[in-house]
Amino acid sequence: MADREVIYDGRIVKLGIETATLPDGRTARLEIVRHPGAAAVVAVDAEDRVVLIRQHRHAAGGLILEVPAGVLEPGETPAACAARELTEETGLVAGAIEPLGFVLTTPGFTDERIWIFSARDLRSAERNLDPDEYIEVLRVPAAEALAMTRDGRIADAKTIAALHRALCPRR
């Protein structure tokens, strides 16, 4: 990153105008949002039900269905973030967490990566929501959760990607 003009430096995101060198040598000025990254977790219980949350998202216009997820704290690993968010948002602790890679959320303007994990061997713990969160916890059969990604009941991109990574057999 040779040249960056900071426009906004917030709690989570940083917006700037950056000069990028393209593969053919030309340069372009781009609006880029820098983000610390996040983790999302697909928790599946002993009855093969996926733990989803119905969360209020002001930017999206209200309540949406998601998998538990959150922003990485400074120095936090994606796996630790996934485990923390699972407990904070759902009141569950996983006995086993498996990494499933990451997704780039919107690479046209941000470097945000969301690392995806699956979680099993769930047990109850104390829930600890942030002051700005409203979350309802649901358990949905895994096949139904996948159907919800196809019929539009789940529209959140990270959740669609996470459910397909965690629940669809690898070939």
Q: Which residues of the chain have pLDDT under 50?
A: 1
Full domain range(s) for residue 146: 38-103+112-167
**Do residues 9 and 71 share a domain?**
no
**Do residues 42 and 64 share a domain?**
yes
DSSP assignment, residue 60? G
**Using CA atoms, how far apart are residues 161 and 6, in angstroms rounded to an integer?**
31
**Do residues 27 and 76 share a domain?**
no
Q: How far is CA 46 from the centre of its chain?
A: 23
**Do residues 24 and 86 share a domain?**
no
**Do residues 17 and 72 share a domain?**
no
Asked if 148 contacts 164 with a C-beta cutoff of 8 angstroms, the reply is no
Contacts of residue 90, Cβ cutoff 8 Å, sequence gap at least 6: 43, 51, 53, 68, 127, 135, 137
**Do residues 22 and 82 share a domain?**
no
Over residues 58-96, the pLDDT tens digits come to 999 999 999 999 999 999 999 999 999 999 999 999 999
- Check residue 2 and give its pLDDT: 54
**Do residues 61 and 132 share a domain?**
yes
- Check residue 1 and give its pLDDT: 46
**Do residues 25 and 48 share a domain?**
no
- Check residue 140 and give its pLDDT: 98
- Check residue 169 and give its pLDDT: 76
97-103 LR contacts (CB < 8 Å, sep 24+): 97/41, 100/42, 100/162, 100/165, 100/166, 101/165, 102/78, 103/157, 103/158, 103/161
- At residue 50, the 3 state secondary structure works out as strand
- The total number of structural domains in the chain stands at 2
